[in-house]
Amino acid sequence: MRIGNLNIDGILFLAPLAGISKRPFRLLARQFGASICYTEMISADAMKYEQDKTIRMLDHAPDEHPIGIQLFGSCPENMALAVRRIQEYKPDIIDLNMGCPVRKVVRKNGGASLLKDISLAAEILSAAAENTSLPVTVKIRSGWTSEEDVYLEFGNIAEKAGIAAVTLHPRSRMQGFSGKADWSKIKELKNEISIPVIGNGDIITPQDARDMLDSTGCDAVMIGRAAMKDPYIFRKIEVYLNEGRLIPDLTIEEKIDFALEHARLTIDQYNDRVGTLMMRKHLAWYTKGFPGGAGLRNQLMKVESYVGISDCLMRYCKNRGIATDS
Ligand SMILES: Cc1cc2nc3c(=O)[nH]c(=O)nc-3n(C[C@H](O)[C@H](O)[C@H](O)COP(=O)(O)O)c2cc1C
């Protein structure tokens, strides 16, 4: 598919996920078939200072392309400056977050709070699009409350501002993650605007991806929580869309191999202790469904080093007679 002047080989997008879609996780998602990954959201205001923590969030590997860097912010001038600076880090897309429901972000009028102030949102969108030659995309929810949908109006102002694609997660800000994403809104948006629409929300299985594409006509699908728990979902969806067949889950050995690879990449980027602490939640997700997994997870929640992770997993395999490569 094409977004602005960028060709993307595939239609499976990894969602921006704060605390998760860091370089190591994105590399795994790409290996497993994601067509493009987004960074976690980065503050446009913080780009003024380019502190180490911010720079680290922009960091990506050469083999990660195409990659989207996501920004949030509520000040058009800061957004203009941020997109100019971001260009130096050579992403393929800059995405603007206008859907994040988290209090810390909306309190500063960023994320979903822009769904309540469409004229400010329009200024920010124009400021971003006018200050970079990269495609700028925007990610929104359907409205602040379920009674005040703004996604169609938003789609139109985005298109007018020169935005190259819109991602819609059709829940309101007030809904958080409750209820169900209303995919009929993705279809309405697709019929309303002529730039690409990326559908997002509640894709859990390969069949869900097929259903979203068929029922909405959206140009691509974006996957968040399901990928966080199982990045292999991209391969499963890819095969299902191309060949109509469901491939089995990875085996326990394969899951352990990629869990260890994720841990190594994370520890390389941070350090042994910090990387290990960051890995605990991923390890809990990756070992879900393992026989006797509760005991294993209990131990994994206490590990403090790569050796600790590896010992724990190898002990588990040995006790269960499972052979691994790692
Ligand atoms: C842990 C977590 C972190 C998230 N961080 C971001 C973020 O940084 N930027 C953003 O636009 N959305 C963020 N989201 C929302 C997701 O990108 C996505 O829109 C949402 O999870 C719905 O898709 P899903 O049903 O496939 O999970 C986050 C969601 C979760 C669960």
Same domain, 215 and 140: yes
Q: Does 205 share its domain with 120?
A: yes
Find the mean pLDDT for residues 25-38: 97
Domain boundary among 243, 269, 300: 243
Tens of pLDDT, residue by residue over 236-272, are 999 999 999 999 999 999 999 999 999 999 999 999 9
* Confidence bin at 323 (pLDDT 50/70/90): confident
Closest ligand 1 atom to Cα of 200: 23
| Full domain range(s) for residue 140 | 2-243
- Domain closes at, from 243, 272, 292: 243
**How far is 100 from 97, CA to CA, in rounded Å?**
6
| Residue 279 placed within a domain | yes
Predicted local distance difference test score (pLDDT) of residue 325: 67
Based on the fold, state whether residues 226 and 314 are members of the same structural domain. Answer: no
Q: Are residues 180 and 270 in the same domain?
A: no
Band of pLDDT at residue 104, cut at 50, 70 and 90: confident
Q: pTM of the predicted model, to two decimals?
A: 0.96
The answer to whether residue 222 is domain-embedded is yes
Place of tokens 């894709």: 203
Q: Are residues 120 and 197 in the same domain?
A: yes
Q: How confident is the model at residue 326 (pLDDT cuts 50, 70, 90)?
A: low
Selection from 205, 144, 142 nearest residue 171 by Cα: 142
Residue 143 and residue 281 share a domain: no
Determine the residue of 72, 139, 225 to mutate for testing ligand 1's pocket, defined as the one with the most ligand atoms within 8 A of the Cβ atom: 225
Tell me the pLDDT band of 103, cut-offs 50, 70 and 90. confident
Domain stop point among 243, 262, 293: 243
- 96 and 151, same domain (yes or no): yes
For the residues 281-302, what does the mean pLDDT come to?
96
In a domain, 326, yes or no: no
Strands (DSSP E) contained in 144-223 are: 165-172, 197-200, 220-223
Q: Which of 13, 17, 72 for a ligand 1 pocket mutation test, highest count of atoms within 8 Å of Cβ?
A: 17
Strands 93-98, 165-172: pairing is unpaired
Average pLDDT score over the chain = 95
Q: Assess whether the C-beta atom of 220 lies below 6 angstroms from ligand 1.
A: no
Task: Give the residue-averaged pLDDT of 135-147.
Answer: 96
Whether ligand 1 lies within 6 angstroms of the CB of 169 is answered as yes
Residues 216, 282, single domain; the answer is no
- Residues annotated as catalytic (active site), given as ranges: 100
Q: 266 and 24 in contact (C-beta within 8 Å)?
A: yes
Note whether residue 88 is domain-resident: yes
Q: Are 76 and 127 in contact (CB under 8 A)?
A: yes
